[in-house]
Structure 1
């Protein structure tokens, strides 16, 4: 991105195409075929725990995985029928907070940790475990599955200890596991870009909050992908769930905070306090971890939608697009099958939100940069106007004449000339100044011209300036044009009227025409007036000059 010395354009269509491609890539992948085993009629087997799976035992009662809790040991079995032998190896997937041994038809086919009757004897298994089964192990007919389980390192704070038991035709793909990490890396790069722009270019609160949002979302995706990519012993599951909840709560606080800062809305502390109380209340409920995180994120989306709607009603420039993005994210979030962290549901929503916000921020950055370049050009124009060679030559000639004939007038003339240069220097870097200051500048200029022409020159103002503001030297430029295009031989009175209509202030400056000469407009002075009004008020102000009966009437319309 190159900003130096030229206006920058943002390639929005290419960015939208890139976002669409990434959204398609992030769409959840589905397994080709699977056979769920968790609905089988499992039964508890009454045998010594160390002999579970190796010897047949008597059934002591039915078993449901809903019964599985922390600090338990179970030996369970179930029978199932396969109608046709598969023609390629299958994958048995087991996800639960337990150490396990798996037996199929009396043979041990898998070991995940070391299950035992006590915590001292148990070695933790991994939360997600898979093993390959040869086609002949799943021949057509009746089969007996035995699971030897122990959960001594589990936590009672986790309501659900069991997640999945199935036979899949294909194991989970690497892309399915690593896509959240790819997005996390992209968000980390975006956070680095935002931080660099924040430190080296413009220090704005919305950029700071956006960088924090990206860092939080990146850490959240890494924490969630930890299970699928690297895996871990089931005893660490509670720590990971708590980390996910904390990061989700932080993200849910930062998202509405970003929109509050982006739209410069008041009462940020009250909104932040209300959001913090809502997140704390959700964290204190008895819901399970995923439900808490889902509710926090839903509240953040709803709050963000409300903030964008409020900003839209206040006339915010990007309130409409922000509201559309948040509503689309909320709709995507509520689509069945893309629940919290189900497949890549959360990644889809975060991608849509943050990368769209990034696009808005970059467009705003480019607009601000272009606006700054325009302001610099206008400042240079104003400074050049104050140092016009023709004006300086005439002023120096007047001083030379006055020194001999009227030293007092020469001294007053030099003081007035110095005041004008000083005021123009002070106002050149400001986008707008109060109308009262502009009138002081005009009165001082007329005092200079009165001495130069040896004629009485005055400005008569009708109406109160009040709190009106306008770009510096706009009225002064009108007066300069009047003296440049007319040869005045009599005393002069310029009339300015300040009126209000339809929420606007209308400044009408009537300037006499001399010798019947027509006023020649649309020069550099008019260009400066139009450009400065556009830069200061973005199209809500206007300038018009037209001839009248013996006068040239300049009309400036400003937002009140």
Structure 2
């Protein structure tokens, strides 16, 4: 690939975009859109301090997410002066069982706090508690949790304590989750549709990968936004996180695989190895909680590189994919909301790209169908040509007058050749044995029409191989039509060699006497050769080669077909 100024500018723009995205991700104050999920008037707990009731575990800046035990967590919440504080509540999200106190008054329990794993009853991962009106007043309030987390199975320092109108804490997460589940429904519908499309119509890897990717997006959306709906016990949070992490990695690989196969990128394995090394490096670094963003940034950047390569190659749909992928970087702002909208935007980009691919494929199919029809007509015209029939009928008349039994044999040979032609003319591929039968029947006709002696010798390694119809028959016709009487008899030799990579067919016309036989250059691209090339292209689409050259005693044609 030649790195033109345009390609270099695109690469530079992509690197700058990645740099800006990383800067945006690492400098924003929070990765979660809590205001969108719970409302803009929420009040966060501040000055949170933790300590253990076990004296040997007293520490400053102690995080309950790092240890099992029996703890106390306390902080303050400032309620605003300019809002109605009736029916306010507090929402707590933490991996623990706890009792919650508001200004020293017990306002709720979640599970049962215990001094060990056996005595503790796990609580829910999320819970809301309504606050008594007598405890609500503008200003600062103390909130305290007595908790235990003996069932915690993974390091996790996430904790959230907020106060807001109680109805808002209940309804807004459910409405938000409903919207996300609608998005998940779109993903699963697209996944099923393209899976069916792959099965019944388009057997292309990019279609199957896109179906699997849409399914992974659906699962990720469902599992990520399951907390407000299912309210599972906090020990299950570990299982949910493992599922989310696994789905995240699968999505990263499927996105890159889609563009690799969509644009027929040649270095797929090397690209995936390098991409895997980058993901592994991100995984072992201490980037929490921004690690998920770095994974998706690496994925989008790798996809951009593939698309830029496709643009340099002039592949259709690459420009649309490049333009569409750029806004996906902007979606990396908040994990809860814009990231999933970015996923949906990415799916739309892929839909457009596949649409362009389907349009190109459909156009190629229509052109191939028209070409196939023309080739079928051309094949019949070649054998039903008035000149061929007139000469054959003249020979039949001559043989009737001279040797009636021979004329019958000529008529039978002609009927056999035409019968085979009618049988194979509409087929795209036939067996090599059918082709040989056609060639033998044509020799049977020409033996009586011309004075020369024609012999076809065949050396096959795979007699069940498939080839386009009348390919060697056309070469045989050329050899007979260019045969001069003074050259003597003609032996046609068809040799097939087969290996794992290709099939090679060598068709030689060998004359008894060497008289410097040489075809005109114009014959090389005559009707016969154009027919052969058109048939090979129709059946093998650039996976073939055809060469033709003179030899001291005749002519040699070589057809190579990639397997």
TM-score range, shorter chain: 0.5 to 0.7
Q: Tell me how far apart the structure 2 counterparts of residues 94 and 346 of structure 1 sit (CA, whole Å).
A: 24
Structure 1 pair 133/304, CA: closer, same or farther in 2 (3 Å)?
same
Partners in 1 of 2:155 and 2:294 — Cα distance? 18
Alignment of 1:224-263 (within 5 A): 224-263=224-263
Give the aligned partner of residue 182 of structure 1: 182
Match of 2:285 in 1: 285
- Structure 1 residues 90, 174: CA separation in 2 closer, same or farther (over 3 Å shift)? same
**Which position in structure 2 is the counterpart of 1:302?**
301
Q: 1:45 to 1:86 in 2, by over 3 A?
A: farther
Q: Any residues of structure 2 matched to 1:441-452 within 5 Å, and which?
A: 443=478
TM-score by length of 2: 0.62
* 1:150 paired residue among 111, 133, 148: 148
Aligned to 1:36: 43
CA offset at residue 347 of structure 1? 1.2
Q: 1:27 & 1:385 partners in 2: Cα distance?
A: 71
- Aligned-residue CA RMSD (Å): 4.8
Q: TM-score scaled by structure 1?
A: 0.62
Q: CA deviation at 1:101?
A: 1.7
Superposed CA deviations along residues 173-230 of structure 1, whole A, max 9, x for unmatched, are 4231133322222222222222222222232222222222222222222221222332
Q: 1:344 to 1:107 in 2, by over 3 A?
A: same
Partner of 2:107: 109
Partner of 1:299, secondary structure, is helix
Query: Is 1:308–1:323's contact at 8 Å kept on the other side of the alignment?
Result: yes
CA distance in structure 2 between the aligned counterparts of 1:245 and 1:234, rounded to whole angstroms: 17
How big is the shift at 1:303?
Answer: 0.9
Contact 1:85 1:136 in 2 (8 A): no
In the other structure, the counterpart of 2:272 is 272
Superposed counterparts of 1:405-484, under 5 Å: 405=398, 429=428, 440=475, 443=478
Shift of 1:304: 0.8
Asked if structure 1 preserves the Cα contact closer than 8 Å seen for 2:98 and 2:145, the reply is yes
Q: 2:357 aligns with which of 360, 364, 372?
A: 364
Residue 162 of structure 1 corresponds to 159
Listed as ranges, the matches of 1:293-372 within 5 Å are: 293-329=292-328, 331-334=329-332, 337-338=333-334, 342-372=335-365
Q: Which residue of 2 aligns with 1:132?
A: 130
Give the superposition deviation at 1:328.
2.6
**Would the aligned equivalents of 2:79 and 2:137 in 1 still touch at CA under 8 Å?**
no
Distance change >3 Å, CA 177–CA 90, structure 1 → 2: same
Residue by residue over 1:448-488, the C-alpha shift from the partner in whole angstroms, topping out at 9 and shown as x without a partner, is 9x9xxxxxxxxxxxxxxxxxxxxxxxxxxxxxxxxxxxxxx
Deviation, structure 1 residue 124: 1.4
Cα distance change on mapping 1:508 and 1:332 into 2, 3 Å: farther
User: How far apart, CA to CA, are the structure 2 residues paired with 1:131 and 1:84?
Assistant: 22
What is the alpha-carbon distance in structure 2 between the residues aligned to residue 198 and residue 445 of structure 1?
47
SS class of match (2:225): helix
Q: 1:401 corresponds to which residue?
A: 394
Structure 2, unaligned runs of 5 or more: 1-32, 430-466, 485-518, 542-563
Q: Distance in 2 between matches of 1:268 and 1:209?
A: 14
What is the alpha-carbon distance in structure 2 between the residues aligned to residue 365 and residue 88 of structure 1? 59
CA deviation vs aligned residue, 1:98-140 (integer Å, no higher than 9, x gap): 2222222443222211223332222212222112335554234
Contact (CA 8 Å) 2:77, 2:163: kept in 1 or not? Answer: no
After superposition, the Cα gap between the structure-2 partners of 1:284 and 1:417, relative to the gap in structure 1 and judged at 3 Å, is farther
Deviations 1:220-252 (A, max 9, x none): 222212223323222222222222112211211
Task: Answer yes or no: is 1:118 the counterpart of 2:109.
Answer: no
Q: Using the TM superposition, name which of 67-76 and 124-133 deviates more.
A: 67-76
> Could you say if the C-alpha distance between residues 441 and 209 of structure 1 is closer, same or farther in structure 2, counting changes exceeding 3 Å?
farther
Distance 1:144 1:333, change over 3 A: closer
Contact preservation (8 Å) 1:63, 1:76? no
Select between 413-422 and 130-139 the one with higher mean Cα deviation.
Answer: 413-422
Distance change (3 Å), C-alpha of 1:86 and 1:508? same
| 1:42 positional shift | 5.1
C-alpha distance in 1 between matches for 2:117 and 2:330: 44
User: 1:473 maps to which residue?
Assistant: none
> Contact 2:100–2:144 at 8 Å: present in 1 too?
yes
How far residue 261 of structure 1 moved from its aligned partner, in angstroms, is 1.4
8 Å contact 1:100–1:147 — kept in the other structure? yes
Residues 78-113 of structure 1, C-alpha deviations (whole Å, 9 max, x = no match): 475653561642232212222222222443222211
For 1:382 and 1:498, the matched residues in 2 are separated by 19
For residues 274 and 293 of structure 1, the distance between their equivalents in structure 2, rounded to whole angstroms, comes to 18
Deviation at 1:428, TM superposition (A): 7.0
Q: For 2:145, what is the secondary structure of its paired residue?
A: strand
- Corresponding pairs, count: 422
**Contact 2:154–2:238, Cα closer than 8 Å, also in 1:** no
Structure 2 equivalent of residue 3 of structure 1:
none
SS of residue in 2 equivalent to 1:234? coil
Change (3 A) 1:37 1:389: closer
Contact 1:399 1:414 in 2 (8 A): no
CA distance in 1, matches of 2:34, 2:392: 79
Q: Relative to structure 1, is the Cα distance of residues 370 and 348 closer, same or farther in structure 2, using a 3 angstrom cutoff?
A: same
Residue aligning to 2:200: 200
2:211 corresponds to which residue? 211
Which of 59, 68, 71 is the aligned partner of 1:71?
Answer: 68
**Aligned-partner SS, 1:34:** coil
